[in-house]
Structure 1
């Protein structure tokens, strides 16, 4: 073997090693696999929960993921996860997208990308009617519960700095703590809390404090550095908003014919930093 051949072969190996790895595009990956893996909570009615009869996952977030998958021309597969596991599950590539009560925060935006706003959640406080608590200010220095690891838990600690804030596994566990008088108020989304108001027993009624603490934009969670996938998802949401599909999904779960009787008062739009 000649010296010249060895030199050329070595140089070729060096050049091959110096070529950066080609980044696989997630949009192409999803389309080629024919499957969109969507992470959702599965314990947050009416956003994602198991139907009592079919045992299938249903809800607003579930339908949003189905919408995205349908427009991409693929099937959808759901993975249930806890609130605290949402971002890690996404970044570890166990799911492609998150539709799981994912409120925008600057800290989360450093870890993942957010789609356009697809839901705007009025964050509110729920109390026992017998407590005579009628304002947010009355709860400063009291005991407040929220879902552990949620943006609600972090937010209420900042807004009520003198209160004792306790995190619970999910909304149902927080509701139970409120009824057992372990806490004085439960903090969370209006839609989620309304369900507890309606299911509370007559001898222990609950109510929402009328004034919302703030309005939290929710987006679909997507891994960073996937601009084509993010753009495709945003286009799907914008077009569904223009066509009325987003309003149909909203009304199905929150409209006049539901226990929530809510009106949609937001649009699909980019989320600006809070």
Structure 2
């Protein structure tokens, strides 16, 4: 009888401790003591100013996508946990339930839509051909006989394929954008196709590089959207808040902060 009572008391004490500490790693205390569910955001932190690490200051992942994700998630009562990985692994991470959503300057292409759902486009940019200033590459035609680098599984890889249909180029693929920049500087590739806003960020630190934008293309060919698992309730929730934030000017403020002006 005493053993039974003792076991019961111990059990009650354990329940009290667990209740006080919280048992789910997916929840964290918010302001006022309420529980905020953690959403795991997949990204590839090599894409300034969308997402990157300013190593001179900290190892924290910062950028436009990070601020926008936190803005939306906070409105919905969530807290964001960021998981950094190679860009070509992001769709797979969604499918494997390793992340709840992806923000990585990702374009909602028809091919990607077969695997994931997308939010509305929240930012539109253009493709840029980046090369060394002394390369004399000023047009698509100047790429003839050249080696062009692209990020693996990116929309720029698809763009290079289109160019290759009319211009004789060799396509080289790398996992991350900084690798492409270093390959140009080392003379191992002649040029790279990079999103214009991202390329301009690299120009600031690499005055020996320059580029020109590729005109034309639709919003879906160069726009950025948030990727979710197929059928996720988060898609509609995020879209609702995203629309509100775009209409009330909060997204424009982030654009000015990270890009220096509205696009």
TM-score, with structure 2 as normaliser: 0.80
Give the match for residue 162 of structure 2.
Answer: 158
- Are 2:148 and 2:190, in contact at CA under 8 Å, matched by a contact in 1? yes
Give the match for residue 4 of structure 1.
Answer: none
Give the match for residue 180 of structure 2.
Answer: 174
Does residue 247 of structure 1 match 2:252? yes
Unpaired runs of 5+ residues, structure 2, are 1-33
Give the match for residue 96 of structure 2.
Answer: 92
1:33 offset after TM fit, Å?
A: 6.3
Give the match for residue 54 of structure 2.
Answer: 51
Give the match for residue 67 of structure 2.
Answer: 63
Q: 1:41 aligns with which of 41, 44, 57?
A: 44
Residues in 2 aligned to 1:105 and 1:51: alpha-carbon distance in whole angstroms: 30
1:211 offset after TM fit, Å?
A: 4.0
How many residue pairs are counted as aligned between the two chains? Answer: 224
Q: 2:110 aligns with which of 101, 106, 119?
A: 106
Q: In structure 2, do the counterparts of structure 1 residues 126 and 93 end up closer, same or farther at CA, with 3 Å as the change threshold?
A: same
Deviation digits for residues 103-124 of structure 1 (CA, Å, limit 9, x no counterpart): 1211001110110001112111
- Are 2:127 and 2:214, in contact at CA under 8 Å, matched by a contact in 1? no
Give the match for residue 194 of structure 1.
Answer: 200
Instruction: Give the secondary structure class of the aligned counterpart of 1:209.
Output: strand
Q: What are the residue-to-residue correspondences of 1:67-146 with 2, within 5 Å? A: 67-146=71-150
- Are 1:38 and 1:99, in contact at CA under 8 Å, matched by a contact in 2? yes
Q: In structure 2, do the counterparts of structure 1 residues 54 and 176 end up closer, same or farther at CA, with 3 Å as the change threshold?
A: closer
- Are 1:178 and 1:185, in contact at CA under 8 Å, matched by a contact in 2? yes
Unpaired runs of 5+ residues, structure 1, are 1-30, 256-262, 266-274
Give the match for residue 264 of structure 1.
Answer: 262
